[in-house]
Amino acid sequence: MTENTPLTQDNTEDMEIRTLELGGLAGTFGTADHKNLGRLYILFGLSGGFLSLILHLLVRLERINIGETSILDFGSSNQYFQTWSLSRTSLLFFCVVPLILGLATYLMPLQIGAPSIAFPRAAAAAFWAWLVGILIHVVTVFSDGGLGVPEPLTQFAQGMDPEATELSILSIAMVAIAVLLASITLIATVVTQRPEGMTLFELPLFSWSVLVATGVWVLAMPVWLGNLMISWVDFRGADALRYGNVANIWGQLSWLWSQPMIFAFAIPVLGIAGEIIPVAASKAQRQYTIQQIGIGALGVLSFGAFAQPFFNADVSDQAVFVGMGLLVILPVLVFLGGLADTLVKGKPKFSAHLVLALISMVALLVGTTLSAIHVSGPAIGAIREIDSDWLSGLINWLTDLQGTVIATAVMEHALISSLIASIAGLYYWSPKIFGKRMNNGIGVLAGLSLLGGLLLSAGSNLINGFLDEGDAVYLATSNSGVWNQDAVEFLNVIGFIGSILLIGGVSLVLLDLMISIFLGKGSNEDVDNPWDGHTLEWATASPPPTGNFDEPPVVNSERPLLEVGGGSE
């Protein structure tokens, strides 16, 4: 890592002299400017979102059967499993994580009044390592690699390539290391680059949420990386015993997509909504510290490195896991309550980013509610003596939900709420990021499409979970315990429509980016501070110049622009 030289009045001039502006490919590949890196993350993240939702749709198609035949036949259970697992890895690592990192890399230095991100070259290295890693991963999965196979007997029997599998493991490890490196640069930025007067309690909510989220990632993802390395070492051995046995690889890694860990990737939803809603309502957020505590509590409750069913099969019955699953709803409720108070007392102005922010909050609230339902069986069993048949039946029924597609519904809510929040952030900060506004109407339409898609997709998984459809949908046995097969088939059709709507929503955003930003049709009127924002990123030009600020600001509250009359209340 290299050191970041603080920008002071004395060296501002030097910095301008040292800066070599490069355009074109040289500028793109050689950039260490956090703004360029942020834009690159966002563009690739949206494209990755499109790919992952296409895979999501293919999996949905496979789940629809007409008679005994599936509409889409992958040819082998291996290929179905690869598509299914890639839809998850890409939704997380090729869409949600880069979108969060992109917004954070672009905005966090601006929000805290810093001239740059800490360790800009490390941040650039993290971006390129992430991009190369995720692209290699996608290519290797399509080349008969992937993170394992569904059943032991299918190992390499149906066209699975051991070398491609090895490369899949190593490439996703490279992605994890890149995400860790990017997270550390963001944490170092917010901890050490804040201006005088800005304590952690005065951090803008988005920056605070990214600090909490990346803090959880830095503590939990190395454990996941350890799982990967154990699998790889065993896989490389002459005769993979357990961890490297391809039937076991995904089982060791799946906890990253399960509760409570999956909510660590939804923490920035609170931060983005917490930035947008008070500004849209032209009202300063009250109880700011409680909002920060809410975000911190969600971080604590989403630390899931201990919840690895592969090594601890009983974890879903254990008090800590159940308690975290039940409590995770509370910080979201508290935070939403604070935002509702601001909305009610303010004068909300209708905008795409407001609609999208509200949708993302509601989606996250539903996701945490489903999490509570998911773990409630053992909880009720633990706190009440079972003295009646109906209660015993209810507990058994709720406990049985744990192996069903409700887990997928929880994951969809957590990750897609994060995707929607990132899109909300994109609409809100597009004047700052691109120097042009995105189209309000298209944004609202995209938000409604994403909401509809999530409701249908996750909703159908929820009901299918109650009907006992197994979460491992790639196994032939996933339907063996289903109560009503026709209902499951019908709901899978509904889920398929939901997948189309999700793709439609992301496509609209990409289309809007193309029209408003790249074709230059978006308005560039009043882009410096179009929404009367409260935080420091709005106190500089759009897009900001090299060094971000003419002079480092002094901050004495979490809403510095309101203090000096820059925002509106």
Partner 1 sequence: MNLRTTDLPVAPAVRGRTPLVATGFAVAAMIMYFAGVFGVYLKERAQVRSEGLPWIPNKATIELTQPGMVIWTLLISIVVMQWAVYSIKRDDRQHALLGIGTTLVMGAMVVVQTAWHLSQTNLIADEGPTTAATLIFTIVGSYLVAVIIGMIILLLTGFRTMAGQYGSKQTDGVVAASLYWYSLVFIYFIIWIAVYIAK
Q: Which of 171, 259, 399, 540 binds partner 1 (CB under 8 A)?
A: 540
Closest to partner 1 by CB, 87 or 548: 548
Closest to partner 1 by CB, 120 or 381: 120
Q: Which of 79, 82, 105, 227 binds partner 1 (CB under 8 A)?
A: 227
Query: From the CB of 321, what's the least distance to partner 1, in Å?
Result: 15
Asked whether the beta carbons of 167 and 140 are under 8 A apart, the reply is yes
341 lies in the site for partner 1, by CB under 8 A:
no
564 lies in the site for partner 1, by CB under 8 A:
yes
224 lies in the site for partner 1, by CB under 8 A:
yes
8 lies in the site for partner 1, by CB under 8 A:
yes
6 lies in the site for partner 1, by CB under 8 A:
yes
Distance (Å) of CA 127 to CA 244, 260, 436:
29, 27, 24
Q: Which of 26, 153, 157, 191 binds partner 1 (CB under 8 A)?
A: 191
Site for partner 1 in 80-119 (CB under 8 A): 113-114, 118-119
Closest to partner 1 by CB, 80 or 549: 549
Q: How many CB atoms lie within 10 A of CB 79?
A: 21
Query: From the CB of 255, what's the least distance to partner 1, in Å?
Result: 11
334 lies in the site for partner 1, by CB under 8 A:
no
Max Cα separation, the chain?
79
Rounded (10°) CA dihedral 140, 144, 146, 151: 180
| Site stretch for partner 1 (CB under 8 A), options 280-288, 376-384, 492-500, 528-536 | 528-536
Closest to partner 1 by CB, 300 or 475: 300
Number of shown-chain residues binding partner 1 (CB under 8 A): 70
- The DSSP annotation for 343-402 comes to HHHS-PPP-HHHHHHHHHHHHHHHHHHHHHHHHHHHHHHHHS---SHHHHHHHHHHHHGG
Q: Which of 317, 489, 532, 569 binds partner 1 (CB under 8 A)?
A: 532
- Residue 266 to residue 271: CA distance in whole angstroms: 10
Distance (Å) of CA 150 to CA 165, 244, 374, 481, 550:
14, 13, 24, 19, 57
Query: From the CB of 4, what's the least distance to partner 1, in Å?
Result: 6
Distance (Å) of CA 142 to CA 70, 76, 164, 243:
21, 13, 9, 23
Q: Which of 192, 392, 480, 484 binds partner 1 (CB under 8 A)?
A: 192
Q: Which of 87, 105, 185, 418 binds partner 1 (CB under 8 A)?
A: 185
- Residue 217 to residue 220: CA distance in whole angstroms: 5
Query: From the CB of 187, what's the least distance to partner 1, in Å?
Result: 5
Query: From the CB of 423, what's the least distance to partner 1, in Å?
Result: 26
- Residue 487 to residue 467: CA distance in whole angstroms: 8
Closest to partner 1 by CB, 224 or 288: 224
For 354-378, letters b (16+ CB in 10 Å) and e give bbbbbbbbbbbbbbbbbbbbbbbbb
Angle between helix 97-111 and helix 267-280 axes, rounded to 10 deg? 50
Q: Which of 64, 104, 138, 184 binds partner 1 (CB under 8 A)?
A: 184
Contacts for 291 with CB less than 8 Å, ≥ 6 apart: 205, 270, 274, 285, 334, 335, 338
Omega before 545 within 30 of 0, i.e. cis: no
Which structure tokens are listed for 239?
A: 């005769």
Asked whether the beta carbons of 53 and 503 are under 8 A apart, the reply is yes
52 lies in the site for partner 1, by CB under 8 A:
no
Asked whether the beta carbons of 426 and 103 are under 8 A apart, the reply is yes
Closest to partner 1 by CB, 73 or 196: 196
Asked whether the beta carbons of 306 and 226 are under 8 A apart, the reply is no
Closest to partner 1 by CB, 109 or 453: 109
Contact mark string toward partner 1, 127..166, x via CB under 8 A = ----------------------------------------
1 lies in the site for partner 1, by CB under 8 A:
yes
Asked whether the beta carbons of 260 and 304 are under 8 A apart, the reply is yes
| Site stretch for partner 1 (CB under 8 A), options 140-148, 416-424, 426-434, 556-564 | 556-564
Closest to partner 1 by CB, 19 or 192: 192
188 lies in the site for partner 1, by CB under 8 A:
yes
529 lies in the site for partner 1, by CB under 8 A:
yes
Q: Which of 249, 553, 558, 559 binds partner 1 (CB under 8 A)?
A: 553
For 268-303, letters b (16+ CB in 10 Å) and e give bbbbbbbbbbbbbbbbbbeebeebbebbbbbbebbb
The pair phi, psi for residue 69, each rounded to 5°, is -105, 135
Contact mark string toward partner 1, 230..259, x via CB under 8 A = x--xx--xxxxxxxx---------------
Query: From the CB of 482, what's the least distance to partner 1, in Å?
Result: 34
Name the 3-class secondary structure at 4. coil
- Residue 454 to residue 53: CA distance in whole angstroms: 11
323 lies in the site for partner 1, by CB under 8 A:
no
Query: From the CB of 432, what's the least distance to partner 1, in Å?
Result: 13
Site for partner 1 in 255-274 (CB under 8 A): none
Query: From the CB of 530, what's the least distance to partner 1, in Å?
Result: 9
Sign of the dihedral through C-alpha 340, 345, 349, 353: negative
| Site stretch for partner 1 (CB under 8 A), options 40-48, 179-187, 445-453, 457-465 | 179-187
Query: From the CB of 548, what's the least distance to partner 1, in Å?
Result: 9
Site for partner 1 in 411-440 (CB under 8 A): none
In the complex, the residues that contact partner 1 under the rule CB under 8 A are 1, 3-4, 6-9, 113-114, 118-119, 180, 183-185, 187-188, 191-197, 218-227, 229-230, 233-234, 237-244, 305, 311-312, 526, 528-529, 532, 538-541, 549-554, 560-561, 564-568
